[in-house]
Amino acid sequence: MHDIRLIREDPAAFDAALSRRGLGPASPEILALDEARRAAIQAAETAKADANKAAKDIGAAKARGDEAAFDSLRAEVAAKKADTARLQEEAKAKDAELHDLLLALPNLPYADVPDGASEDDNVELKSWGTPRALPFEPKEHYDIPAAKPGMDFETAAKLSGSRFVLLSGAMARLHRALAQFMLDLHTTQHGLAETMTPVLVRDEAMLGTGQLPKFGEDSYQTREGWWLIPTSEVTLTNIVAGVTLDAARLPLRFVSHTQCFRSEAGSAGRDTTGMLRQHQFEKVEMVSITHPDESEAEHARMTACAEAVLEKLELPYRTMLLCAGDMGAGARRTHDIEVWLPGQNRYREISSVSTCGDWQARRMNARFKEDGGKPQFLHTLNGSGLAVGRTLIAVLENGQQEDGSVTLPAALRPWIGGAERISSAGVLE
C-alpha cells in the first residue's frame, strides 16, 4: 500500500519507480480519484454546515411568526441534508475505489535495485564455496540410488496428482532433520523466536502481505473461504496487523516451520520432475518487524542468517540482488540465495530475503509509537531460512558418490543419530 501524500508531493518520481517494474504511469488516475474524493468530502462538509446554519434560522423565523421563511428554511435544511448524504456516499465510493487501486500496485524498488526485466539482469553480490569436481556424471536428486527407495512420486500422484512426493525411510528422516537443524540454528544462534502458526488464514491476512487481491490464483482456497498459506510470511507478519507497538519492543524476530501450498499457476511445464517445484512443501520462514531506521541493517542480518544454514551444511551458493523486474510485488529489495545443484549443473534459488519497507504495514495498519511521538508505520522483512525440500535436494546432489551413496554434512549428523551417509540402498549408516 502506498502513501497518497507522497504521490501527491512527487507524482513523477512515483511513476518513474513503477516504470522500473514495467508498469505505465499510475499517478494521473490516482490523483484524479483523490481530487474527486476530497472535493466530495469538502462539498459534504459545506452542505452540512449550511444545513446547520439554516436549522438555527428556523427557530428565529418561528419566533418571529414568519411562516414563509420557516417553510423555506425547513425545505432548505431537508435539501442540504440530502445533499450531505449523497456527497458522503460519493466520497465513500471514491475512497474505496482509490483504496482498491493503491492495493493493486506493487511496491517501489529502492534506488540501489538494478534495472532489468528478468533473472538475466540480476547482480551477484557474493559467492561461497567451490562446487566439487566430480569424477563421474552427477545425477539429479530423484535419480540418485540412495534417494530412490525413499522418494516415491508414483504413489503421491495416485493420492494427489502431479507435483507431490511421498518420502519414507532415510528421506523422511533427513527431511525432518533438516527442518529441526534450521530451527535450532535460528533460535539458538540467530535470536529468532520459534512460532507455530495456522496454515489456514482469512482474506485479510492474505491481503495484508500482498497475496491478494492480484495473486489469488497462485494459492488454494477452501470451500469455507480460508486460504492455505503459500508461506508462513503471511501468518508471522500478520501477528502485528492492527496493532500499535511500543518502539521499545522492536525488533520482533520470528521463525516458523510450516507446510506451504502453492498452485504454481504461473509455472506450467517448469521443473515438473522431482521435488524442486511442488504444490505442497515445507519451509522454515523468518520474519522481522522493525523500526524504519533499522530495516536496512536487518535485511543484511536476515540474509546472513539464511546463508549461515548453507555454510554449515557445506553447500556452495551465491547471493543475488534481484533486478526491479524480477522482484515479488511486495518487495523493495530482494536477495535471492541460490544453491549449487550438480545434477542440473547450475545454481537454483533456495531462499529469497526481502525488505518491504512500510508497504505491508500500511495494508495491515501495523504501527509503532515512541515516547511522546505519533504512531508510525512499521517496516517488515521476510525470508526463507530455508526451503526444506530444496535443501534436501542440495544435500543429496552435493553429497552424491560414484557408488550411488550420499555423504551427509557433518553439521547435520547430531539430528540423524550420528549417521554419516546414506547407502546406495537408501539406508542411513
Q: Is 262 flagged in the annotation as binding?
A: yes
Across 301-319, b (16+ Cβ under 10 Å) vs e yields bbbebbbbbbebbbbbbbb
Contacts for 53 with CB less than 8 Å, ≥ 6 apart: none
Residue 402 catalytic? no
Q: Is 352 flagged in the annotation as binding?
A: yes
Q: Is 233 flagged in the annotation as binding?
A: yes
* CA dihedral over 327, 332, 333, 336, signed as positive or negative: negative
Strands of the sheet containing 333-341, edge to edge, are: 123-128, 317-321, 333-341, 346-355, 379-387, 280-290, 252-261, 193-194
Q: Which of 37, 253, 367, 390 is catalytic?
A: 390
Alpha-carbon span 391 to 175, nearest angstrom: 8
Q: If we measure between CA atoms, which residue out of 383, 365, 376 comes closest to residue 1?
A: 365
Residue 270 catalytic? no
Q: Is 219 flagged in the annotation as binding?
A: no
Q: Is 349 flagged in the annotation as binding?
A: yes
Residue 137 catalytic? no
Q: Is 19 flagged in the annotation as binding?
A: no
Alpha-carbon span 251 to 287, nearest angstrom: 10
Residue 48, H or E segment = helix 27-64
Q: Is 119 flagged in the annotation as binding?
A: no
Q: Is 296 flagged in the annotation as binding?
A: no
Alpha-carbon span 183 to 193, nearest angstrom: 10
Q: Which of 74, 86, 132, 277 is catalytic?
A: 277
Contacts for 179 with CB less than 8 Å, ≥ 6 apart: 257, 282, 284, 388
Alpha-carbon span 323 to 389, nearest angstrom: 26
Residue 168 catalytic? no
Q: Which of 262, 301, 333, 363 is catalytic?
A: 262
Q: Is 384 flagged in the annotation as binding?
A: yes
Q: Is 118 flagged in the annotation as binding?
A: no
Q: Is 231 flagged in the annotation as binding?
A: yes
Q: Is 282 flagged in the annotation as binding?
A: no
Q: Which of 219, 256, 295, 352 is catalytic?
A: 352
Residue 202 catalytic? no
DSSP state, residue 149: G
- Does residue 163 contact residue 157 with C-beta atoms inside 8 Å? no
Three-state DSSP at 354 gives strand
Strands (E), 235-279: 244-246, 252-261
Residue 30's identity, in one-letter code, is I
Task: Please state the residue numbers annotated as binding site for ATP.
Answer: 262-264, 349-352
Task: Please state the residue numbers annotated as binding site for L-serine.
Answer: 231-233, 262, 285, 382, 384
Task: Please state the residue numbers annotated as binding site.
Answer: 231-233, 262-264, 285, 349-352, 382, 384
Which sequence positions are flagged as catalytic?
A: 262, 277, 349, 352, 390
